[in-house]
Structure 1
Amino acid sequence: MIEIKVPELAESISEGTISEWLVNVGDQVNKGDSIVELETDKVNVEVSAENNGVIHEFLKEPGDTVEVGEVIAKLNDAEDAASGEGSSPQQTQEQSQGESIEQEESAPRSEKKSEENTTPEPSFSKEEQNETNRPIASPAARKLARELGVDLNKVKSNDPLGRVRPEDVKSHANQPSSQAEKTETKPSKAQKTSPQTSNASDEKSDKPVERIKMSRRRQTIAKRLVEAQQTAAMLTTYNEVDLTAINDIRKRRKEKFLEQHDVKLGYMSFFTKAVVGALKKFPRLNAEIQGDEMLLKKFYDIGIAVGAEEGLVVPIVRNADKLSFAEIERDIKSLSKKAQTKKLTIDELQGGSFTITNGGVFGSLMSSPILNAPQVGILGMHTIQWRPVAIDKERMENRPMMYIALSYDHRIVDGSEAVSFLVKVKELLEDPESLLLEG
């Protein structure tokens, strides 16, 4: 029997949550096949089989928290699978049941008569017998019970061997409400740990509500955002940018740019270059606080906030000061696609020095971004709106305008420095040619 353990994930990650099993008990797997998806604080990781064999048993279920090095499943190697050793609990029960039937058919009539007066004991695997206070149930039944908020200890099994199956869970869940109230006076363990949703009634009201357990990543995001507001002296300063010049460049160059580089010329490359240029002039915004020291970073790894299904992630564009516009656009496109398909790696999320977040893609006109700790600066972009702008005392023109916001840690960044930084970003964006020299 081979133990499947949680592998080393990253230096800063010691545990994860089982998101879903990618195989079933009894499935044949080869070395390198993905068998389970783990959700960590930052990314989802697929654990691969290190040996060939047949899945014997799951020791953990979706929603369970597991630590690095912990055994989560067992695998029969090729020889065991061929000989039938270490069969799964279900296979063991079925084989035992089949053998008892054969014995009954071949036994003398006198023995059969004596056996009718005795009740056969269910046959379970040693692992199942040793799990006290834990009902014997199939993985599918356990998953369904978590989704429906059903306590497996209170489910009546119709299986001759006492194993709870999905149909038993459904039957229990569909029983009359008066009977269910008698058997479910306390919330089950499955209800407390379920990553799924459940319909319930608020204890203080008869109004319908839906109780949803936050995913591990959502909990981490919530914790870090609260910590950022509690530990940093965070302030926000605002300005606005006229994007006429950038729009003109994009209009003139977009087709040739796409043809040459196989990527569109977007706004993010301009903003990334403008931020790099401003950071070079105001280096304290490219720093972090470590104890009583200020760590000034001499590199420009810019985080680009991306909204994913399970929450905001901030993948990093490395060495943005050394990249061309096309390389920046290509990196952002690749990282965004990975974020949407849950393919980001830990390395792609660690070590940024400054962050840009674009709420404008969702229609935000103005907001105050929260620092991405331990960074001390974050730039917020917003939606582009055509507004009348005074060109001089006599002329007005409609221009594509965007509000921008800089949130900063006042512990090491002075207000005048933050305002000057944002003005520098504005100047570089309104004179895009200067980005070639300062960005």
Structure 2
Amino acid sequence: MTMADLGTEALRSHVAAQLQRARDRSVALTDAVDDDDLVRQHSKLMSPLVWDLAHIGNQEELWLVRDVGAREPVRHDIDDIYDAFQHPRADRPTLPLLDPAEARAYVREVREKVLDILDTTPLAGRRLVTDGFAFGMIVQHEQQHDETMLATHQLRSGAPVLHAPPPPPGRPLPAPEVLVPAGTFTMGTDVDPWALDNERPSHEVHVDAYFIDTAPVTNGAYAEFIAAGGYDDERWWSADGWAHRVKADLTAPRFWVRDGDRWLRDKFGVVEPIPPDEPVVHVCFHEARAYAAWAGRRLPTEAEWEKAARFDPATGRSRRFPWGDEDPGPEHANLGQRHLSPAPVGAYPAGVSSSGVHQLVGDVWEWLDSDFHGYPGFRAFPYREYSEVFFGGDYKMLRGGSFGTDLAACRATFRNWDHPIRRQIFAGFRCARSAAPAELDQELA
């Protein structure tokens, strides 16, 4: 059952539930700290939490109250303050921001109007509202900012305020890598009603045969790269990567701390030994690429990642998720802040792809060796600033979502991107390599 199959009232109920789920998370992330913490900038890489909260409300007002609902503005005087393009994150604390009480009252008032608009707006006849698209866009926007706020929590100092149970245990995997045969598959989507513009249109892509890691690179494997002097050997780094490594004095993933002969990590205010079987997280693209070179491998391309995640050779079609078309459940993937770290490799056998690749969704965003661009036939909708203005810039692709990503924004066509130096995000990677003809003959024998 998809959203397209729902009747109008069932669709309204689904949208309302998704809006509420996102808001519950926003409230939990902001209520976890006091007002001083809400207005403080914990890192120049991030906004104060109170800015994110009011920005969530402002985007909801712009699109759902003013555009979809054609209602009078709730607060027409704050649009500039909460325009992410107008003010870099480092400068946002100097703006006349709504204080915590004002921000909370603002997002509540906007939401009350939005729920009334949801009850009275036809969800058909106009592309922006068909299948609840505009509401789904706002759900995804709020959940993306919730993940951003979760990253801000990781950067704050002080006693832990977030708590969650540990992820499930890992399991042995059948092989370290999987062969994906050469062939064409359908990349992107035309049918997912809440897919965003950069996921469209679907198109056929040929991919040569390649091997891809069965699971993301673990902390234990990455520690071997460090111990082998990987950060001190320029051979493994690109020119840009080495320049950044030197300038930023990179010596290990962010939040790793050396303690004698072992590594510790600071995870949301808790300092603990690093679990060797969890996917490594908080590495930038340059670190991921250097590790891959040291290991005699490379990072996957975006097309390779999506084929491994979606293509089902038994049917010849591309699926919404590695395991099928149904939304992820807790048995499929580590998502939605259910846990506060990646899960050990092999923890989600129900989430394996048709190709035999594990943990492609959830746990860590995966760096890919592809730049951000539009697909053939791309058309910006409903505004250029979501995707198009970032095409061709200094961005590398990230796919799959993390333990902090919500299921509303983790489908296997969902595309994320960031600067290759970013480490505060919940990003890791897996490796790939091109298949040699002799290896293909051996596999077929």
TM over 0.5: no
| TM-score range relative to shorter protein | under 0.3
Largest Rg, 1 or 2: 1
Which has a greater percent of strand? 1
